[in-house]
Chains A and B, each alone.
Chain A
């Protein structure tokens, strides 16, 4: 885990969305800790960029039906 991604989503309204997103991102290979901020509508995840890219992760969330409005990647 050498990078951290922060994705800004549209507003989240159902607590089950949260579980859904968290589960899907966590089950992606190369991803460590995942935190979904329900009220801020953000997904924060640590990942290893040799196994998975930031684009892949944003795809995972998009596929669940949530629009990713912005992505920030930081070195850990």
Chain B
């Protein structure tokens, strides 16, 4: 089909040529050169109708009655009755509309394109002799070592085996921030090495990389239709042939040929067909740029209807790692207390001890204190002489065993810390209680404001489910302003709660880290996996937040509502346009050319309306 290819390549030229001829034709009209007007416009119609007719024919071959067929018949009709000006303008407007549609559509699709453009195509694979060879990314094998230089995109998922540097992981997390990478650390395909040089041993290549999966997910999502879209598709399938039939009937009954061909042009389903999908494409694209993957129009619709958010606590509302959350000192300084306790704990491997060591290391305290007589007492704590002084760190049992008593004031401090759900280490130095160290799973600092923002955006009920103990759960719930909390749950009990809410008529979104709550993610109306690009999370959830951030969650919720609203606006515009055209037809102020103009204009209006979604919530951070 060389001719068709040629037509496609030159469709713009054909459009401009027909425009020029129309201008020339009208020049003929105003200078009263009648033959010029008629002939030139006839030629313009003939030229411009060719690409449209070819499309119509192609579609007909696969048994599809396309819009092009309606236009072609209308134009031929106008031509037969000598309305060359009408046919010329209709064909030009149709081609020009397609041209603008193409331009604007590619704008709404640009977010996927910018994603795929980030994908590297070749990799520098290290050979046995120490040289590197340029290899197509699809031919790199798992286990190969690739060399990545400053400024280059990392071509595989893998582990750093040599070198160090900073990687910008925006492609995978949506967050443009340099992350330091050294030996043994995981790097992702599609992320940019902004500084340094790395040798990376490939663990996943080609279509198996996290980045490739994201791209595939987004591509599929933009074409996964909502119920409304599917309905419109089915509708359009029967609508176009129906229009053909109606035009025929109108022509036969009224014996008015002009009216019949006008019906054909006005019947083009234009804005209605494109309005809903274009909103979703723009909305999903907006999310993808921010590391928010929404799996299609249906997920968008459902998400917008959510009124109940159910959160998993650990790793979602909290950071999921125990850390020192409180230090209370009675004698001496905080630093001394931490340093002594850390030195003491350095010989045990108790999780609470590890949190203390981490806190001390972060404060750059000296932990190399002289330790003698070290003893670990199971279920109580540890004791030793630190730099010659007796130090014990543990629970109240340990204190009792060492005949150290808490003063009422100290007792009060202990109870207060226990109410926050933290685990306590009581530290006694030389027979006196020196201080308390509280260790707990730290609540994400931005969570409280984000939950409030969710409520403001339309969420009615916020629930926290956790396997953790009641005290801790209550404390976290109080701190964050969660409406309902259930603690000490097993994963299957969480699912039961989700089902209960659904049975009560609530629309439930479950937000989890995707690692151990897949059943709940799958059961909820919308499963939101937060901060993990694991395969399981991507598969079982409807929305994936690549970065573990509540800001992203709030944006996603608002975006879903906005996208659905945008879709409704577009459908409304389309229906109003059809109503207007019908009215115009009956009242007689709309004819072929003006009808086509209104059509094409309405298509552009819905595309422009959808384009507002691209930059919803401010421009996404772009890579340099």
Interface size on B, residues (CB 8 A): 33
Task: Tell me which of B60-68, B303-311, B518-526 binds A.
Answer: B60-68
**A11 beta carbon closer than 8 Å to chain B:** yes
Are B112's CB and A39's CB within 8 A? yes
Partner-binding segment picked from B1-9, B125-133, B417-425: B1-9
Q: Are A65 and B223 in contact (CB under 8 A)?
A: no
15-38 of chain A: CB within 8 A of chain B: 15-16, 19-20, 23-24, 27, 35, 37-38
* Residues of B close to A39: CB separation below 8 A: 109, 112, 219, 222-223, 281
Residue of B nearest to A27 (CB): B62
Query: Does A52 have its Cβ within 8 Å of any Cβ on chain B?
Result: no
Q: How many residues of A contact B (CB 8 A)?
A: 23
- B98 with A64: CB separation less than 8 A: no
Which residues of B from 68 to 125 have beta carbons under 8 Å from A? 68, 98, 101-102, 105-106, 109, 112
Contact indicator B62/A40 (Cβ below 8 Å):
no
Min CB distance A33 to B, Å, is 13
Q: Of B1, B8, B68, which contacts A16 at CB under 8 A?
A: B68
Closest to B7 in A: A65
Per DSSP, chain A at the interface is: mixed
Inter-subunit contact B5/A37 (CB<8 Å): no
Interface residue? B621 (CB, 8 A): no
Report chain A residues within 8 Å CB of B106: 11
A13 with B64: CB separation less than 8 A: no
Contact call B219/A19, Cβ cutoff below 8 A: no
Residues of B within 8 A of A38 (CB): 223, 277
- Shortest CB-to-CB span from A31 to chain B, Å, is 14
B233 surroundings in chain A (CB, below 8 A): 15
Interface residues of B in 470-501 (CB under 8 A from A): none
Inter-subunit contact A65/B68 (CB<8 Å): no
Q: Which residues of B contact A23 (CB under 8 A)?
A: 62-64
Q: Is B274 an interface residue, CB under 8 A from the partner?
A: yes
Given known pairs A16-B59, A16-B66, the reply for A42 and B219 (CB within 8 Å) is yes
Out of A14, A42, A62, A74, name the residue touching B98 (CB < 8 Å): A14
- Tell me whether B58 and A65 are in contact (CB under 8 A): yes
Across chains A and B, the number of contacting residue pairs, with CB separation under 8 Å, is 67
* Cα-based distance from A16 to B270 in the complex (angstroms): 12
Alpha-carbon separation in the docked complex, A74 to B216 (Å): 15
Q: How far is the CA of A13 from the CA of B66 in the complex (A)?
A: 14
* Whole-angstrom distance between the Cβ of A36 and the nearest chain B Cβ: 8
Interface residues of B in 267-283 (CB under 8 A from A): 273-274, 277, 281
Contacts A13-B101, A65-B1, A65-B58; is A19 near B223 (CB within 8 Å)? no
On whether A37 and B223 interact (CB within 8 A), knowing A11-B102, A13-B105, A19-B59, the answer reads: yes
Q: Of B4, B64, B236, which is in contact with the most chain A CB atoms at under 10 Å from its CB?
A: B64
When distances are taken between beta carbons in the complex, the residues of chain A under 8 Å from B5 are: 65, 67
Give Cα distance in the complex from A38 to B222, angstroms: 8
Rounded to whole Å, the gap between the CB of B574 and the closest CB of chain A is 14
Query: A60 vs B273: C-alpha distance in the bound complex, in angstroms?
Result: 27
Check B326 for interface membership: any CB of A closer than 8 A. Answer: no
Distance in Å: Cβ of B152 to nearest Cβ of chain A: 22
Q: Quick one: which of B574-623 are within 8 Å of A by CB?
A: none
Asked if residues A37 and B62 are in contact (CB atoms below 8 Å), the reply is: no
B207 close to A (CB within 8 Å): yes
B55 part of interface (Cβ distance < 8 Å): yes
| Given A39-B222, A39-B223, A40-B219, also A19-B62 (CB < 8 A) | yes
Q: How far is the CA of A22 from the CA of B98 in the complex (A)?
A: 21
Tell me, in angstroms, the Cα distance from A62 to B5 when the chains sit together. 9
Q: Hey, which bits of chain B sit against chain A, CB under 8 A?
A: 1, 4-5, 7-8, 55, 58-59, 62-64, 66-68, 98, 101-102, 105-106, 109, 112, 138, 207, 219-220, 222-223, 233, 236, 273-274, 277, 281
Binding site for B on A (CB under 8 A): 11, 13-16, 19-20, 23-24, 27, 35, 37-40, 42, 62-65, 67, 72, 74
A-B pairs with beta carbons under 8 Å apart, 30 shown = A11-B106, A13-B101, A13-B102, A13-B105, A14-B66, A14-B67, A15-B236, A15-B274, A16-B55, A16-B68, A19-B64, A20-B59, A20-B62, A20-B64, A23-B62, A24-B62, A37-B219, A37-B220, A37-B223, A38-B277, A39-B112, A39-B222, A40-B109, A40-B219, A40-B222, A40-B223, A42-B219, A64-B58, A65-B1, A65-B8
